[in-house]
Amino acid sequence: MHTVYALLLFANCVISQQSLLGDNLSNSFDASHADYSSLFSENSNIRPLISPEDLVVATVLSAEKQTFTGIGGSGAWWPYDIYKFPESIRQNVSRLLFAPSGLGLTSYRWNVGGGGVNVTDPIRAPTTFYVGPKTYDWSADAEGVYFLKEAARYKVPHIAAFVNSAPPPFTSSGGSCNGTFITGKEDAYGEYIADVIAHWREEGVGINLVSPMNEPDGNFPDCRQEGMEVKVEQRAAVIRGVYDALVEHGLQDAVGIIADESNSTNIAIDHYEKWLTKDVANMITAFVHHTYNFPNDGAYAEYINMAQAIVPSKPTRMSEICCSIGRADASDAHFSQGYDPTITGGLHFASLMFQSFIVASQAHYDFWTLVSDKMGCSPFDNDTCATTANANGWQDGLIYYDPKYASNGNHELYLTKHYWTMKHMTNFITPGSVRHEVLSASSQARTLAVYTPTEIRIISINPTTAPLAFLVLFERGAGLDLVAKVAYRTSGTEDWGAPELPAKLANGAWMMSLASNSLTSFIFSRN
């Protein structure tokens, strides 16, 4: 008996067992947790070809979870280098990031430069528009502004202006690092921020979010990048200063404040109660955190529960993560050096995205630097550099470029498997789409079900080294009216492959196949 035929026969046995309990799945029956072991003994012709371990059964529920708003990443600090590349390469970077044929990012974090004073790495030292009160040099930071305008040209719906450091007159060090925000300058700082946003909005750039402090718990004393401490007791006043300035410009409804971009969920939750008053909470659109502590599922859920208890009316967002090397399922995720362009690295971060979407039910996700030169080697000197994992680089980009481009003239771009796994998320988890819960007893695969008015998108990770058969059932027969439209797969051998379409079974169930170490998206039309 052919394996595929055996799988279909077994799947129909599952559906038959389901039908004995009712024509439509109800809340009282979860097929994904049912015991199918008897079906193997009753169907001896199947047993040699598949076992219960070969089949993942999942149930897509009717109840809606979060409505997605955006997925993207940051424009720090790669524009400084890429701006020096030929215009054709710059445009290719824009297409790869912003065009629907590429990632089609729906979120972009633009770094508002603080001047880079005392910062030792020139790539991480963006110039500032600020000259003095109400005086600006709009020609500054041409590198960052170039890609800001590109994001606007491609109509990225969510553009956030975020600040690593205020200009030197606002910091205790008189520089762009190793300093603390100066108490008493909140109104002037707010005016500066609002003026910058108003200017670029007038230029046609739809900035609609602002983060006035980024990782405010540290000031980066080594000065390898911009950074400014904003003490816990200062944060409410900073928010008020920015909000009042937005009101002065009539932008309080057009531009939302997000805060406070703490480095980790545990730091964020420890500080919320210390600075969040009711009036300040009402000025904030969303509470935004980073996940450099790489919380496990339990710790992540605890953060969400505590944040909602403090400010139940506001959503949380994950706005920055990078730099973890480990297993495809991210069960060992931790901050670590290393470069992994392989499918393992791609699935590792896809698994972390699933954690934010499923465990935390978050609607918005941003990776850190979208483009990086931290390969740990030069592909100009080493043919396998770009495609082989090493311990010297950093997993902080989706697209990479040669760190020695200035001396060897190599302007090639190198796409990692992380780029392609991210493409599944950005192409199919679109603003306005809605997640439905997926129940499954299996720990082998993790699945998202994303609904739009015209499509259902099933996105599944198989982080194991064996292929899996994947049976998807829909609560209340919702799968009956679906039509399999197209499928895409990223694996060790495929960037954007075209696997077989799912097979439709009785009662609207669907049988799919998940290749080993892969991420697959199945797109269904809703009739």
| DSSP reduced 3-state for 407 | helix
Same domain for 313 and 353: yes
Residues in the chain, overall count: 527
Under the banding of pLDDT at 50, 70 and 90, the label for residue 27 is very low
| Complete DSSP assignment for 98-154 | HSTTTT--SEEEEE-----TT-S-GGG----SEEETTEE-TTS-HHHHHHHHHHHHT
Q: Is 509 exposed, middle or buried (0-12, 13-18, 19+ CB in 10 A)?
A: buried
Whole-number Å distance between alpha carbons of 243 and 235:
12
pLDDT of residue 130: 99
- Do 156 and 56 share a structural domain? no
pLDDT, residue 22, reads 39
Same domain, 409 and 481: no
Question: Are the C-beta atoms of 369 and 397 separated by less than 8 Å?
Answer: yes
Integer distance in angstroms from the first to the last C-alpha of the chain? 34
Residue 162 has pLDDT above 50, yes or no: yes
Would the pLDDT of 379 be above 90?
Answer: yes
Question: What is the structure's pLDDT at 39?
Answer: 40
- Over residues 332-357, the pLDDT tens digits come to 999 999 999 999 999 999 999 999 99
Clarify whether residues 489 and 408 are in a common domain: no
Whether pLDDT at 451 is above 60: yes
- Number of structural domains the chain divides into: 2
The CA angle 343-348-353, to the nearest 5 degrees, is 125
367 shares its domain with 245? yes
CA pair distance 378, 401, nearest whole angstrom: 9
Phi-psi domain of 465 (left: phi exceeds 0; alpha: psi -120 through 50; beta: other): alpha
Q: Kindly give, in sequence order, each residue whose CB lies less than 8 Å from that of residue 165, ignoring residues fewer than 6 positions away.
A: 114, 115, 171, 176, 177, 179, 226, 227, 228
State the alpha helices, DSSP H only, in 292-436.
Answer: 297-310, 343-354, 405-408, 417-428
Confidence band (pLDDT; 50, 70, 90) for 12?
low
pLDDT at 248 over 70: yes
Tell me, what's the pLDDT at 122? 96
The CATH number covering residue 149 comes to: 3.20.20.80
Question: Is 361 in contact with 496 (CB distance < 8 Å)?
Answer: no
Average pLDDT over residues 312-318: 95
Task: Say how far apart CA 493 and CA 479 lie, in whole Å.
Answer: 31
What is the rounded CA–CA span in Å between residue 158 and residue 208?
A: 6
Single out the residue of 313, 184, 317 nearest to residue 262, CA to CA. Answer: 317
DSSP assignment string, 183-226: TT-HHHHHHHHHHHHHHHHHTT--EEEEES-SSTT---TT-SS-
Does residue 415 sit in the same domain as residue 445? no
Q: From 391, 413, 428, give the residue that closes a domain.
A: 428
Query: Is the pLDDT confidence value at 43 over 50?
Result: no
460 with 337, same domain? no
Asked if the model's pLDDT at residue 267 lies above 90, the reply is yes
- pLDDT band at residue 25 using 50, 70 and 90 as cut-offs: very low
Q: Is the same domain home to 127 and 44?
A: no
Buried b (16+ CB within 10 A) or exposed e, 224-249: ebbbbbbeeebbbbbbbbbbbbbeee
What pLDDT sits at residue 24? 44
Phi, psi of 270, deg, nearest 5: -70, -25
**The domain boundary residue, chosen from 394, 428, 462:** 428
Mean pLDDT of 428-440: 98
Q: Are residues 24 and 129 in the same domain?
A: no
- Final residue belonging to a domain, choices 428, 446, 475: 428
What pLDDT score was predicted for residue 441?
82
pLDDT in tens, 509-522: 999 999 999 999 99
Helix (H) or strand (E) holding 437: strand 434-439
Same domain, 257 and 288: yes
Mean pLDDT (whole number) for 20-35: 42
What CATH number did the domain enclosing 462 receive? 2.60.40.1180
Least confident of 42-46, 128-132, 156-160, 454-458: 42-46
Range of the domain at 41: 3-66+432-526
Contact yes or no for 209/251 (Cβ under 8 A): no
- Alpha-carbon distance of 489 to 459, in angstroms, equals 10
pLDDT tens-digit profile of 94-126? 999 999 999 999 999 999 999 999 999 999 999
The DSSP 8-state label assigned to residue 171 in this structure reads: B
Q: Are residues 496 and 408 in the same domain?
A: no
pLDDT at 1 exceeding the cut of 60:
no
Tell me the pLDDT band of 16, cut-offs 50, 70 and 90.
low
Percent of the chain with pLDDT over 70: 90
CB-side neighbour CA atoms (13 Å) of 405: 22
- Given a cut of 90, whether residue 527 has pLDDT beyond it is no
Strands (E), 282-407: 284-290, 316-320, 364-369, 371-372, 399-401
What digits encode the pLDDT tens for the residues 387-403?
999 999 999 999 999 99
Give residue 45's pLDDT.
38
Asked if residue 483 and residue 391 are part of one domain, the reply reads no
pLDDT of residue 14: 54
